[in-house]
Structure 1
Amino acid sequence: MADAATLRARNASFWARAAPGWVNQADRHDELGRPLGAVALDRLRPRPGERVLDVGCGCGGTSAEIARAVAPLGAVVGLDLAEEMVAAARARFTGPGGAGPRFVAGDVETLGTVPGAPFDAVYSRMTLMLLADPVAGLTTIRRSMRAGARLAATVFRDGRVNPWLPAAMLGAAPHLGPLPPLPIGAEPGPFAFADPVRVTGLLTEAGFAEIEIQPYDVTLAAPDDPPAVTEWLIEIGPAGAAYRDATPAGQQNARAGAARLLERFRTPGSGYRLPTGLWLITARTTTNNLEEA
């Protein structure tokens, strides 16, 4: 596996290229992707007046939802590596006079602490498995939390329980230009946190306690609109940048290729049902560690 610095640089480059697709699909992903993090939000139970950090906030939809839960006196900071997604989050959810969540562009692995710390709670939807150096990123998160603060996050389990996940990429790839290299082993990627024993070890090394990792199965429901659904999945996946660089004909062929592989998850007239296997990760801090930063 490549060293952390190489993986971090690769991550930054990938997300800079991927960001426009997430911005394009922001409204759709807020709606269709909500089940990916709902169980963590339910477990976190943000309360009015709390300060909450949203790690990997993307285009801000999850941060805005948490902000409604902690209003009127609470505060939410959404953190993401991709500056273009953070800019979109600000445009979408910053109200008059700066009301709403605060959005910060930065690499959680290299920040001493997250601006706005200390936090009462931390939420993360499908992000922790994408860290180049998970211990560094998790340590920053833990340092940014109050003593006794709680963490709730979701990540994918493995490919067997997420059979639709590679379909959009595999169906689209033959019709597009070069794609970024696929992750190997524990490199950042959708299944990097598939092994709960490894994940427990990473959290323990980062200083967390009361760690629990539980399996959850959810279903993403999408409308019976193959062009829109396939474009959503292609644009937020590893083929997104190549898709946007393709000709209109290439894009149409990519959508058709993805639709063929996703057909088994579709009921004509009803829509798509995408079975998804998650880990719900919860943990707490035992001490406040801002002095370490």
Structure 2
Amino acid sequence: MADTATLRARNADFWARTAPGWIHQADRHDEIGRPLGAAALDWLRPQPGERVLDVGCGCGGTTAEIARAVAPEGSAIGLDLAEAMVAKARDRFTGPGGGGPRFVAGDIETLDTVPGAPFDAVYSRMTLMLLADPVAGLTAVRRSMRAGARLAATTFRDGRVNPWLPAAMLGAAAHLGPLPPLPIGDEPGPFAFADATRVTDLFTAAGFTTINIQAYDVVLDAPDDPEAVTEWLIEIGPAGAAYRDAELTTQGYARAGAARLLERFRTAGTGYRLPAGLWLITAHSGGTSTP
């Protein structure tokens, strides 16, 4: 396994190269991907007047949803490593005069506390398993919370219960150029949090209490549009940068390759049903917080 500095640099490069795909797919991902974080939002129940942090906000859709829940006196701050996605989030959701949610570009692993701390609650959709140093990142999150504040997050479990993820990548990869290094073992990636015991240990090491990890299954419903669905999944995945660098004909081959492997999740005339096996992770901060 690579050292933390190497993994952190690899993460920064990956998300800088992948961000354009997420930006292009922002509206589609907000719609189709919402079930990936719904259980965490339901548990967290942001209340009017609360200050809430969204870790890994991407292009801002989840932060905007939280901002509506805590309005008019509360605040929602979205944090993401990818500066381009944060800029897109600001364009999409910052209102006249700076109203609405706030967005911050930064690496949670290297921050002492997040600007806007202390927070009453923290939300994260499908991000924590991507950290190069999860204990450092989670510790920064915990330091940014009020004493007793609550956290709710979702992550993928393992590839067996999320079979469409590798299918989309493998179907496209055969037609594209070199891809970024795929994660090994516990390296940051979609299935780095597959072991619930390890996840509990990481949160405990970061100072969280009342940690609970619950298996949670959802289905993503996507329209019966193989061109659009395969492009969405390719662009937000590890093949995204290579896909965008490819010629149009090659992109078509990549979409067709992904469509073939995804066909078992499709009902013609109805659409795609993509099963996702998640962890719902909930916890509370310890007894100390930013003043």
TM-score by length of 1: 0.99
Report what 2:90 is aligned to: 90
Task: Give runs of aligned pairs for residues 17-166 of structure 1, distance below 5 A.
Answer: 17-166=17-166
Task: Note the alpha carbon deviations across 1:227-266, whole angstroms, 9 max, x for none.
Answer: 0000000000000000000000000000000000000000
Q: Could you tell me which runs of 5 or more consecutive residues in structure 1 were left unpaired when the two chains were aligned.
A: none
Report what 1:230 is aligned to: 230
Once the two structures are TM-superposed, the CA of residue 38 in structure 1 deviates from its matched residue by: 0.3
Moved over 6 A (4+): none
Once the two structures are TM-superposed, the CA of residue 289 in structure 1 deviates from its matched residue by: 3.1
Task: Note the alpha carbon deviations across 1:59-82, whole angstroms, 9 max, x for none.
Answer: 000000000000000001100000
- Measure the CA separation in 2 of the matches of 1:73 and 1:232: 36
- Measure the CA separation in 2 of the matches of 1:262 and 1:79: 32
Secondary structure in 1 matching 2:73? coil
Give, as a single letter, the amino acid of the residue that structure 2 aligns with 1:171: G
- Measure the CA separation in 2 of the matches of 1:18 and 1:154: 21
Once the two structures are TM-superposed, the CA of residue 84 in structure 1 deviates from its matched residue by: 0.2
- Measure the CA separation in 2 of the matches of 1:74 and 1:223: 35
Seq. identity, %: 81
Once the two structures are TM-superposed, the CA of residue 285 in structure 1 deviates from its matched residue by: 1.1
Secondary structure in 2 matching 1:186? coil
Task: Give runs of aligned pairs for residues 4-23 of structure 1, distance below 5 A.
Answer: 4-23=4-23
Secondary structure in 2 matching 1:165? helix
- Measure the CA separation in 2 of the matches of 1:35 and 1:238: 21
TM-score by length of 2: 0.99
Task: Note the alpha carbon deviations across 1:155-185, whole angstroms, 9 max, x for none.
Answer: 0000110011111110001111110010000
How many residues align? The count is: 291
- Over the aligned positions, Cα root-mean-square deviation in angstroms equals 0.6
